[in-house]
Structure formats: C-alpha cells, structure tokens
Amino acid sequence: MSIYNLPIISQEEAGRRTHKLVLRAPELAGACAPGQFVHVLCGTYHDPLLRRPISVHNADVKEGTITLLYEVKGRGTALLAAKRPGEYANVFGPLGQGFKLPNTCGSPILLLGGGIGSAPLYFLARRISETVGCQTSTFMLGAQNCDSMVCREEFAALGPDIRLATDDGSLGCRGFVTELFAEYLASSESSTPPLVYACGPTPMLKAVALIANKHNLPCQVSLEAKMACGVGACMSCVVRVKDGGGEKYVRCCKEGPVFDAKEVVW
Amino acid sequence: MVAENNRLKTEIAGISMKNPVMVASGTFGFGREYADFINIEELGAIVTKGTSLLPWPGNPPDRIAETPAGMLNAIGLQNDGVESLISEKLPWLRQFDVAVIVNVVGKTLDEYAEVARRLDGVPGICGLEINISCPNVKEGCIAFGTDAGMTAAVVGSVKAATKLPVIPKLSPNVTDIAAMAHVCEDSGADAVSLINTLMGTSIDAETRTFRLANITGGLSGPAIKPVALRMVWQAAGAVSIPVIGMGGISCAQDAVEFMLAGASAVQVGTANFINPNAGPKIARGIDDYLARHNFEHVKDIVGAVKSNNL
C-alpha cells in the first residue's frame, strides 16, 4: 500500500453521469485484486475534504494502468471528472478485501451488478477468466434506464449470456436485477449450484442476499459505506455482521468491502 | 531527517518526543493501520483510539457526514477494551521508537480510574490522555468535560490510579475554556489537550432526514481551526501546565500558529484521513519555519505571538 500521484492517461464519459478514468499506475495495477478499491483525492484545498473510495474497474498489468469507473454524485466526483490527461490524481491503495475467486471451474458463475456497482465486476470476470480459466456464465446488470447502463459492450465481450434490466424498461427487462436472478434460479437446469458475486445499491444487495441465502448459494457482496480514512483507523464505515450468537460492527474498508452474504446483518 | 533533529525535541509532562507533532486520538487507530503507508517513528507521539474498560460497540451507521471544509463524526468510541490494548495492540506498537499516549474513556468515574490502574506499569506507555469531551456517547465523556466539578473528580481519580502523566482532553462545548483548563491544573493534571470536536448536526434537505444515525456528531477539520486556535490561546493564558493544541491542523503553518498561541505541542487529526503523511510532513515544515526565522529551538515559538499595538 502506498500513496501515489498518478498521471491521467484518459478521462471520458461512459454513460449518463458516469466517467471512466485511466491512470498510469504500474505498481497499483500489479497489486490490485478485484473488489479492492482506491482512495482518491478529488478536491484541491480543504473542500470537499475527504477522499472518495472508488472500486477498481480494471487493472492492466501489461499496460501498467488502472481504470476507475465512477458516477458523478456530488462535488468530489464532479471535480474528479473535470481532471484531464496531463493532470494527476492523488490515490492510495489498493485497499480492503476483494472477492474470493473460485478454485475450479465446476460451478456456473453469476455476476450481478446494479448501476455503478457493475464497475468492479468487469475486473472480477477478467481475473477469473485469466487466472482460474473459467468464463462467467451469466452477467445480470441492472440500471435506472438505458443511459445509465454502464459498459454493456465490455461485459458482452467477456461472456455470451448477458441479461439486462432497467427500472423504466428502456433496455432489457423492465424491473430489477433481482428479478433476473430469481428467474435464472427458477429456470436453471444446472445441477451444480452457481457462485454468486454482486455489487450495487444496498437494497439490491439485500434482495440478492435473501434469495441466495434461501437457496443456500455461496454469495459474495461488495458493500459501500460512508468512509473517511479508508484504512481501518477511524471506524466510520462500519457494517453490522453476525458474531457467534450476537452481532458486531466491522469496518467496510478493512474487513470488506466484499462480505459473505450470510455474514451480513441485513 | 527530522527524527534526529535536536531543534524539534520536545518534552511535555515528562514525555519525551522527537518533535511536537502528535496524531490525535480516533484518527490513527493504534498506529498499525498507517504503518504500511508512513514511517510512524517520524511522529512525536501516537495518541491511541479511546480505550474503555470493556469493549464498546459504537453507534449505528451512518457515522460520518462531510461538511464544508470539515466532517461530522459520531463513531461512539467503538473499541475492543483495555485488555485487548494490553495484550495485542501495545506489544505491536512497542517495536517502534515512538511515544505512545493512551486515550482513556469511561462511563463512570470508576471506569476511568480502573482503565488507568490497569495501564499503570504496562511497558510502552508514556502518558494517559483522558477523554472527557467525546460528544457522541450517552454516558460519561462530555458529561464530565462540561461540568467543572465532574472534571475535577475524574482528573483526581485518574491521577490517584496511575504514575503516568495525565492529560485531560478538553471539550470546546463549554462557555469558558480557560476556567476548565484551570480546573484541570488545580486537580493535578500534568498537561491539557484541546480541542475535541464541536457538537453539530447535518440534515439532508432532499430526504428530510438527519445524515447521522446518532443525529448529532462532532465537527472536525479545517473548518474549526479559528475556534480551536482561540481556545488554545485562552487556555494557555490561564494555566502554567503545558497545553497541547489541536483542531483543524492540516499543514505546518497551522501547527506553528497553535504553538505561537501557546501550545507546547500539537495534534493532527482529520488531516490524517486526507494525507496519511500529514504528521511527518508537518514536523518537517515546523523545522523549516524555525530555520527561516532563526529560532534555535521549537520551544522558542511557544506563546511567541506578539500582542497587538493598540
């Protein structure tokens, strides 16, 4: 883990209020695992004050780059989106526990993304394919509408079965990604239970976790939380998890952001 | 190398430090979280996360909200308790050449005293900072720090329970900070540190909800610096024990201002979140300031602000 001032290679719009930022980061590219995040300084002088945690959308070891795909939500991300090639982004990481990759290719692999939560799933799918050697069986991506569906062509290039849902029906099915998930389980003829990976808004992850837990499927979810330090010092970003017979708060930035869906108290 | 620089060497209440820049409680964990990023031996001291007798679960999330040039927090002093500090965190910290001050919290007088008693004689601790100012827990803490009689009682009972230097951390949420500093001195405190966070809240107009689950939280960051600087100046003028200044310090110039106002040392808090290297960088910057203004030692700038010509 280190603090870096990374040259910006490119910055482009990748959908409605969504930007894709490519940074020259040879060291980080080699160190990042799917599901981990970096902490990005967006402001210049005190305001907005805090860094923004952004998951790694892709790490290209050969090119020595990392790619961040992020939604412009407030002043911090708006300032980041205004940065141009030739400028630098101050970043530290990689941070947190990423997704656990499958050991073998025996089970179907389902990747469920909601909105900008789809971003880290691209890195995950690539890494599973490159290191374990198996293809993602099915991508299920949800968004508010067609314009906010991120990088579907990129995902399509990684696997043939890509299922889309939008709130307004402007792309794919009208409805939620959780409905696609339930339909998949109802119609699946596979005798091997799938491995489920999900990232998106908390209500979506909760719905995914309830379905996965009901079917007793292994399911990893990547959560988000209001975060300050990003390294486990400040205890801001806690998530409630099961602890023996009780419950406790653990740090999303350190013990997460990826959790076993069975561990989280939803 | 700042670590070897005699000009910055600082002693407060018998605590020897390489330089006057400490990291503030609650912003640096127990050092471990930042040791991957920075050389923690370049710090004057590490003040640990607030430690209670038994583990505390902390408040429900959301625990923070960003504000203009600052942030509100309502962590609620989540910590694993004093036994975990003694058996796990301190042994790890002892491998480093850096002063360690343990921040002590409690719900009752007895709890403060008992934590102090358990830490007495434990190797690797240079002093105790007594948190009588956290605004985010329902019992103890700020209830002690906003009442002169209770402040005196908690300082007195901790002093009786330990041989270590005792440093009450004062709340800015009082009418007369000088009076509170004075009460601490009279009760036997070896130094005082200030300020803790200022109580505030934040509302999301779109959702018509409070941003913090706890509703209120403590404001920190550059936004509070002028208030903190004023209070440090007032407290330093009221007592003869050393004052440790903090509140929105994010660069060497900020730190120098606090020292000119009368602080013998400073703590860096929220700035650690933005730049984990803030503490060492500020220590080097103070050294540059001393060189630029021909000061022989950092103690020469303590309280050296000139009075206005009226």
Nearest Cβ partner for A49 among B28, B58, B70: B70
Q: Which residues of chain B have pLDDT under 50?
A: 3
Residue (of A91, A89, A151, A79) closest to A115 by Cα position: A151
Neighbours of B57 (CB within 10 A): 15
Are B249 and B271 a contacting pair, CB within 8 Å? yes
- The pLDDT assigned to B58 comes to 96
Taking the CA of residue B24 and the nearest CA in chain A, the distance in Å comes to 11
How far is Cα A154 from Cα B264, in angstroms, rounded to an integer? 58
Please name the amino acid found at residue A9.
Answer: I
Q: Is the dihedral of CA A251, A252, A253, A259 positive or negative?
A: positive
Question: What is the four-CA torsion angle of B32, B37, B43, B45, rounded to 10 degrees?
Answer: -20
Are A263 and A227 a contacting pair, CB within 8 Å? no
What is chain B's Cα-based Rg?
Answer: 18
Nearest Cβ partner for A233 among B34, B62, B221: B34
Nearest Cβ partner for A249 among B28, B78, B273: B78
Phi, psi of B266, deg, nearest 5? -130, 160
Question: Residues of A with CB below 8 A from B29's CB?
Answer: 232-234
How far is Cα A148 from Cα A70, in angstroms, rounded to an integer? 11
- The pLDDT assigned to B4 comes to 60
- Please report how many Cα atoms fall inside a 13 Å half-sphere around the Cα of residue A166, on the Cβ side: 13
Per-residue b or e along B86-119, where b marks 16 or more CB atoms closer than 10 Å to that residue's CB? beebbeebeebebbbbbbbbbbebebbbbbbbbb
Domain boundaries, chain A: 2-95, 109-222, 226-266
Taking the CA of residue A95 and the nearest CA in chain B, the distance in Å comes to 11
Do the Cβ atoms of B73 and A234 come within 8 Å? yes
Nearest Cβ partner for A235 among B34, B66, B75: B75
How far is Cα A130 from Cα A128, in angstroms, rounded to an integer? 6
How far is Cα A104 from Cα A102, in angstroms, rounded to an integer? 6
- Domains of chain B, start order: 10-58+75-198+219-301 (3.20.20.70)
Task: Tell me which H or E stretch contains B234.
Answer: helix B225-238
Question: Residues of A with CB below 8 A from B51's CB?
Answer: none
- The pLDDT assigned to A102 comes to 94
Q: Which residue of B has its CA nearest to A41?
A: B274
Q: How far is CA B286 from CA B121, B222, B252, B255, B280, in A?
A: 33, 18, 5, 7, 10
Per-residue b or e along A163-185, where b marks 16 or more CB atoms closer than 10 Å to that residue's CB? bbbbeeeebbeeebbbbbbbebb
What is chain A's Cα-based Rg?
Answer: 18
Taking the CA of residue A249 and the nearest CA in chain B, the distance in Å comes to 7
Nearest Cβ partner for A226 among B26, B62, B70: B62
**A92 Cβ under 8 Å from any chain B Cβ:** yes
Strand partners, A242: A247
How far is Cα B46 from Cα B103, in angstroms, rounded to an integer? 10
Q: Which residue of B has its CA nearest to A249?
A: B57
- The pLDDT assigned to A52 comes to 97
Q: Which residue of A has its CA nearest to B78?
A: A235
Fold of A109-222: Rossmann fold (3.40.50)
Do the Cβ atoms of B71 and A51 come within 8 Å? no
The arrangement of secondary structure in A226-266, i.e. its CATH architecture, is Ribbon (2.10)
Interface of A with B in 210-229 (CB under 8 A): 225-229
- The pLDDT assigned to B3 comes to 47
Q: Which residue of B has its CA nearest to A246?
A: B57
Question: Residues of A with CB below 8 A from B73's CB?
Answer: 228, 234, 236
Q: Which residues of chain A have pLDDT under 50?
A: none
DSSP string, A80-129: HHT--BTBEEEEEEEESB-PPPPSSS-S-EEEEEEGGGGHHHHHHHHHII
Top-level CATH class of A2-95? Answer: mainly beta
Do the Cβ atoms of A1 and B49 come within 8 Å? no
Do the Cβ atoms of B57 and A51 come within 8 Å? no
Mutate to test the interface with B, among A52, A236, A239, A243 (most CBs of B within 10 A): A236
Question: Does the annotation count B134 as an active-site position?
Answer: yes
Do the Cβ atoms of B69 and A228 come within 8 Å? no
